[in-house]
Amino acid sequence: MYDPKSLCADEFIDDGEIRETLAYADANKDNIELIDSILEKARPRRTDKGTFCTGLTHREASVLLACDIPEKVQQMYDLAEEIKKAFYGNRIVMFAPLYLSNYCVNGCLYCPYHMKNKHIARKKLTQEEVAKEVIALQDMGHKRLAIEAGEDPVNNPIEYILDCINTIYSIKHKNGAIRRVNVNIAATTVENYRKLKDAGIGTYILFQETYHKESYLKLHPTGPKHDYNYHTEAMDRAMEGGIDDVGLGVLFGLELYRYEFAGLLMHAEHLEAVHGVGPHTISVPRVKRADDIDPSQFDNGISDEIFAKICALIRIAVPYTGMIISTRESQAVREKVIRLGVSQISGASRTSVGGYTDEDRPHDTEQFDVSDQRTLDEVVCWLMDMGYIPSFCTACYREGRTGDRFMSLCKSGQIQNCCHPNALMTLKEFLMDYASQHTREIGDKLIEKEIDNIPSPKVREIVIKNLKEIAEGSRDFRF
């Protein structure tokens, strides 16, 4: 029985409810009156207390996903852009993944780190190697990392992950610093989540891969990840352990995208219903070619067009949730979905263990092929050319604005007096310390122009003063 408040995965991701939702969406995909009322409900409302959006239920959003009337689809795209502008402005937060270990005891059929893969080199970074990787990442200009590891209680126990987090935060190379470490490791216990929280992590990210239980069990035939309920209930344990910023995701391509989309939104509704706060982020990875993985083995690959529609509808359905796109996607696809709602992107990523210290892009321990292979300087410049502000901001979590406190900032309309200045100041740091001459020139002009978009005169004055001090060598200002 479907119950968003239940703590049992089978009840908050109820298969019957998803099937009924899909049938309802099919029956109404041409119901213009209903579609218009759903679009109307999702529209941002501007009041003197700020801009508000109600979002959509999984049923409403599924109707929009099923609808393929070109004029209505265009309205969905326009609305997604409007919501994106209202809450995220033109800022794009930058991060990089850091692969710690590819030892893994699971049997995931789509991942080359699966246990039976005997020809991939197994590697686990020592703390000295972690430090080297972090220095290489700091030298590019990164301030925010997502750490990644296979699941292996012997080789990658929680103590190893905690040691790595400590090492990462401790490295201060030149003007560099990693100020936020997000963690993407396998589902674990409340006790371990509490340890991660105490180590000062930002978001705990765990992809569901698929919400379709039967497929999930087949795609994860062996290892601890086989336990669908333990995996699906992980975010509840993370929240119980004190982590209130959690990141959801589906690996698109494994199952029918409409099923996954409904499941993803039901998961978000469940977190909101039980913990009073929805997911901090949603990631939208698609299955990629990798060592012994051929994406065409999976029948449910989605076109770039459907992918863009999914991104737009996530933006509309959960307006306060950040959306992440990785270098699995090409420059062209990234360009399209950034406009439609993506708020965070990775840049210059290497998906191999120890990849940042190697001169050439190593393939022997790589998790998947990277489509966007540009340098961080190139990605930053490209974003600015399109009118976006690349942001290296990590202020919210350092100021304790996590969970519902972050959501209230989002809803209060103060984001333009807070996130916008933080973006400009951290971009200035990047320009001073890491950018090429060309990027710096473009960036300085952009900053000058964007200062005028800070609503509060007082905040504007402080930002101008701080920017001057950053140019003279000071670092780490934040609101």
What residues contact 214, with CB distance under 8 A and at least 6 apart? none
Max distance between CA atoms of the chain, in angstroms, equals 63
For ligand SAM, how many residues bind (rule: CB under 6 A)? 21
Q: Does 329 bind ligand SAM (CB under 6 A)?
A: no
Cα-Cα-Cα-Cα torsion 398, 208, 370, 179, nearest 10 degrees, comes to 10
Closer residue to ligand SAM, CB minimum distance, 352 or 422 = 352
Task: Quote the tokens at residue 119.
Answer: 């020809």
Q: How far is the CB of 322 from ligand SAM (least distance, A)?
A: 17
By CB under 6 A, is residue 279 in contact with ligand SAM? Answer: no
278 lies in the site for ligand SAM, by CB under 6 A: no
Q: Which is nearer to ligand SAM, 13 or 111 (CB)?
A: 111
Stretch that binds ligand SAM, among 163-171, 288-296, 433-441, 442-450 (CB under 6 A): 288-296
Question: Is 195 in contact with 240 (CB distance < 8 Å)?
Answer: no
CB of 452 to ligand SAM, least distance (A): 41
Taking CB under 6 A as the rule, does residue 100 contact ligand SAM?
Answer: no
Candidates 62-70, 282-290, 388-396, 431-439: pick the segment binding ligand SAM (CB under 6 A).
282-290
When the beta carbons of 186 and 415 are compared against ligand SAM, the nearer one is 186
87, 95, 110, 193: residue in contact with ligand SAM (rule CB under 6 A): 110
Give the nearest distance from C-beta 48 to ligand SAM in angstroms: 43
Cα separation of 134 and 356, whole Å?
Answer: 8
* Least distance from ligand SAM to the Cβ atom of residue 354, Å: 15
Give min distance, CB of 204 to ligand SAM, in A: 11
Q: Is 111 in the site for ligand SAM (CB under 6 A)?
A: yes
293 binds ligand SAM (CB under 6 A): yes
In sequence order, what are the residues at sequence separation of 6 or more whose Cβ sits closer than 8 angstroms to the Cβ of residue 352? 99, 358, 361, 362, 363, 364, 365, 366, 367
| Comparison of 355 and 443: residue with beta carbon closer to ligand SAM | 355
Verify binding: residue 184, ligand SAM, rule CB under 6 A.
Answer: yes
- Pick the closer one to ligand SAM by CB: 346 or 426: 346
Write down the least CB distance from residue 264 to ligand SAM, Å. Answer: 13
98 binds ligand SAM (CB under 6 A): no
Pairing of strands 246-249, 204-205: parallel
Binds ligand SAM by CB under 6 A, chosen from 35, 145, 146, 186: 186
Q: Does 150 help bind ligand SAM (rule: CB under 6 A)?
A: yes
Long-range contacts of 369-374 (CB under 8 A, 24+ apart): 369/288, 369/289, 369/290, 370/327, 370/328, 371/288, 371/327, 371/328, 371/329, 371/330, 371/331, 371/333, 372/327, 372/329, 372/330, 372/331, 372/334, 372/347, 373/327, 374/331, 374/347, 374/348
Is residue 353 involved in binding ligand SAM (CB under 6 A)? no
Among 25, 206, 238, 435, binds ligand SAM (CB under 6 A): 206
124 lies in the binding site for ligand SAM (CB under 6 A): no
Q: Which of 287, 389, 410, 425 touches ligand SAM by CB under 6 A?
A: 287
Phi, psi of 235 (to 5 degrees): -65, -30
Q: For residue 201, give both structure tokens.
A: 């992590």
Name the residue nearer to ligand SAM (CB basis): 208 or 417.
208
Position 225 contacts ligand SAM (CB under 6 A):
yes
The reply on whether position 368 binds ligand SAM by CB under 6 A is yes
Q: Which residues bind ligand SAM (CB under 6 A)?
A: 110-111, 148, 150-151, 184-186, 206-207, 209, 225, 251, 285, 287-288, 290, 293, 328, 367-368
